Amino acid sequence: MPEEEAAFSPDGRTLATADAAGNQSAASNTVTRNGTGGATTNLALGKPITGTPNTFTFVVTNANDGDLTTYFEGSTSPAQATVQLGANADLSSVVVALNPDPIWSTRTQTIAVLGREQSASAFTTLVPAQQYTFNPATNGNKVTIPVTGREADVELSITSNTGAPGGQVAEFQVFGTPSPNPDLTVTTSSFAPTSPVETDPVTLSATVQNIGTAASAASNVNFYLGTTKVGTAAVGALAVGASQTVTANVGPQTAGTYQYTAKVDEAKAKTLLAEVDQTDELVAGNKVWFLYDSGRDTFRTYVTQGEAGRTPLAVRRAMKRKLIAERDQALAQRDEAAAARDEAVRTVNDLQQVKTSLEADIAVLRENKAALEGSVQRLSSDLSFRQNSLFYHAANTRQLRDQGVLSSVLKRVQDVKPVNYDAALDLRETNIITLAPEAFGLDHIGKVRMLPNIFQEGRDFKIETYADSGIARVFILDPELFKGKEVLLAVGG
């Protein structure tokens, strides 16, 4: 590639590498400011504002738009609105206002005021939570809260409201004066060599001055060729009026034309630009004007009708009418939903009572069922026992005669007196009845008779006596014959 000449324009702010024709780009330099000074004023108007979730369309940006007919209403507790002033300010008061229209009834809100200094990360309490009464007739629905402190962010925290479920703010105003602050600007910029070629290392330089009213902390300058950042140089802390020249060696550059930009404290500049007024509603064709207001030392935007045929004010009014219609519709829907909810709650309560009554009835029925099942089971078990058992009464022969149960003549069971068949033999388990002599007042059992005589000994049953132990045993030889039957056993010595 042939070697080409490179040169800076006479204003010292544009770097160009060009051919023999010497073509150069337009001049460029970027200066960032963080202004100070000014009388006591509403510092919150149009500034960036954030908040907790809102109810319906009552967004937090309504709270510092300068319009008392719009408002923020939170849907959570606490309801919070935080305005970013952009830099520290010495505060004197905070005003919280609602729509002064008498339709807004008297209400009391519990409000705390918090603040955050520009170099801090956490908020501190400036005014503890207390109750404030808003009355259209006595204070125009507006309260003023005295505040002292040097803060960059101010926050309202509302924990109760007797007039609505959430905290409400139509206008959140912060009064005070901007605090002393550093104001860094790039006063001059240059490069070396003055006519670089493609192989020459290029050194960029910039002079930074603090034209503010307070000393600045250490910062930096970013150097750009076009949109590409090619270097950064540290800038030390600067007293008021002090300046410092810094350089960055960006090396050789490819042949071409470059727009050279030096930006001091670029992060601060982005914070400042975030304060630009973006409250206007835009439509296609509007013109947006960006300017620096030296009187207020702020950057702002202004919007004109342009080719749209509708001014931002007309757009805003149409938007407000739409929002009001949506709000009214939402309120109607809310009321309908509340009525439906109340009716549903009543229905649910009635059904719950019916359910409770039915559950109680079911519990009683279950208890009755369990009792009946137990009775059935016992009856079934008893019936099965009776169907498979031999019931008998065993007694001393002499005692049976004395009772008139056993006749010495007929030697059979009489109907003169009833006999209680108080013992049973479950023939499913055993077929042996064991008789001990002591149970009958005997030393030993010598004889046992079974009545009635319809049962034949040797075929249906057999009886064995044991001389050594004195006991006797009755063996049921045909269990099926004896199931469910009653017999009398007369025991003798």
Q: For residue 16, is pLDDT > 50? A: no
Whether residue 282 is contained in a domain is answered as no
pLDDT the model gives residue 477? 96
Q: Is residue 288 part of a domain?
A: no
Number of domains in the chain: 4
Identify the domain containing residue 370 by its residue range. Answer: 311-386
Tokens, residue 444: 């030993």
Domain membership flag for residue 91? yes
Boundary-marking domain end, from 117, 149, 178: 178
Is 68 inside a domain boundary? yes
Residues 265 and 360 in one domain: no
Most confident option among 219-223, 275-279, 310-314: 219-223
Give domain status of residue 94, yes or no.
yes
Q: What is the pLDDT of residues 115-160, one digit of tens each?
A: 999 889 999 999 999 999 999 999 999 999 999 999 999 999 999 9
Confidence of residue 30 (pLDDT cuts 50, 70, 90): very low
Co-location of 174 and 186 in the same domain? no
Tell whether 64 and 172 lie within a shared domain. yes
pTM over 0.75: no
Q: Are residues 27 and 9 in the same domain?
A: yes
Higher pLDDT, 252 or 410: 252
